[in-house]
Structure 1
Amino acid sequence: MATPETLPCSAGWRLLHMRGDLFTCPSTDDALAHCISEDCRMGAGVALLFKKKFTGVEELLAQEKQPGQCAVLKRSGRFVYYLVTKKNYYQKPTYDILRKSLVSMREHCLANVNSISMPRIGCGLDKLKWENVSPIITEVFQDTNISITTQSRPQQV
């Protein structure tokens, strides 16, 4: 079961940090999000879990999204966002491309989604620093009514 870590709030939106399993988040109404490469390899880390759980690699490739954009699948009434943060799986993303991918996701969310659960995006195998990523999420979403919950395994916190 997930347990809260912090709850920074600001004008109509929230960013909640939790410890727990992303795939057992309490609401099936929550959209899910994570980072991928343009080549959609998803061979390790949380991306591999998304690939196994939601399939759809061909659907993602057909969307022809580039770094800085966001591909979307709909599974069991829930949106699953794939933030394209690098061209090839073996590369590392930049904070600027991550920001652009988040903006792309936000644009889709504004018409469709009120809450998103995600891992600490970019901070696992991609090696970005959470202390830099968290303010980017805040910058992109603070003027919306979209709630975001980040899930991390207890050893990652």
Structure 2
Amino acid sequence: MFSRFLVQSSKLIYSNTKQIQRRFVMASSKLKLSEVEGDLFSAPEEYSLAHCVGADFAMGAGIAVKFRQTYGQVEELLAQKISSGGVAVLKDKNRFIYYLVTKPASYGSPTYDSLRSSLSQMKEHMKLNKVQKLAIPRIGCGIDGLEWDKVSAELHTVFGDEEVEIVVYVFVPK
């Protein structure tokens, strides 16, 4: 476990607990991050969508299969020539569909650095296009194996100063 210094009310507070760190980050953030149980594809149309993929855009497992079936256009995604750490984008009516390229190939593993880079590029696209609502699964978790606590912290790091609402859809089979 790592330790971190936090500045609050001009006082330096030493903390080595995730709970205190998360509380500080959330208190100083403009980002509205929430989780709901449900199907990501039921998100209202004013929410853009995002998920993680490999640079080969194979999308053969997990939620990526549903993205491929729903939005297709794999050739268009490949033509964007996005490498790990980037983001490919499709437009669907009034929403954007973000493909966070977090690994060189679908069979590989993402890193927190590649995720952060992809998130940062997505943030820039969102700012340019005035996107303020985003729906995502627990990106990079599940098959890709990243830890949600760390991914959530990356979301706060990248989007903390932005007035953005991110809804995380947690699929619970019934």
Q: TM-score by structure 2 length?
A: 0.81
Deviates most, 42-51 or 9-18: 9-18
Structure 2 unaligned residues grouped into runs of 5+: 1-25
Runs of 4 or more above 4 Å deviation: 8-11
Q: TM-score by structure 1 length?
A: 0.90
Shift of the alpha carbon at 1:11? 4.4
- % of aligned pairs identical? 45
Task: Decide which structure has the larger Cα Rg and report it.
Answer: 2
For residue 125 of structure 1, give the secondary structure of its aligned residue in structure 2. Answer: helix
- Is the Cα–Cα contact under 8 Å of residues 66 and 84 in structure 1 kept in the other structure? yes
Question: What does the per-residue CA deviation read over 1:65-120, in whole Å, with 9 as the maximum and x for residues that have no partner?
Answer: 01000000001221000000001111010011000000010000012201100000
Aligned to 2:143: 125
Aligned-residue CA RMSD in angstroms? 1.2
Shift of the alpha carbon at 1:10? 4.7
For residue 146 of structure 2, give the secondary structure of its aligned residue in structure 1. Answer: coil
Residue-pair matches, total: 147
Q: Does 1:107 align with 2:124?
A: yes
- Is the Cα–Cα contact under 8 Å of residues 38 and 66 in structure 1 kept in the other structure? yes
Question: What does the per-residue CA deviation read over 1:48-79, in whole Å, with 9 as the maximum and x for residues that have no partner?
Answer: 00000011100100000010000000012210
Aligned to 1:16: 34
Q: Does 1:63 align with 2:100?
A: no
Structure 1 unaligned residues grouped into runs of 5+: 1-7
Partners of 2:98 and 2:27 lie apart in 1 by 23
